[in-house]
Structure 1
Amino acid sequence: MEEAGHRFRHLIRDRDAKFGAAFDAVFASIGVEIVLTAPQAPRMNAFAERWIGSFRRECTDRILITGQRHLHHVLDIYVAHQNAGRSHQGDGMLLRAPNDEPNTIPFPARIDTIRRRQRLGGLLNEYRPAA
Structure 2
Amino acid sequence: MDLEAAGAGVKYLIRDRDAKFPPLFDEILAQAGIQVVLSGIRVPRKPHLLHALREYKTHYNRFRAHQAIEQATPLRAVPAPITDPHRITNLDIRRHDRLDGIIHEHQHAA
Judge same fold: TM > 0.5, yes or no. no
Rg larger for: 2
Instruction: Name the one with the larger helix percent.
Output: 1
Q: TM-score with structure 1 length normalisation?
A: 0.39
Q: TM-score with structure 2 length normalisation?
A: 0.45
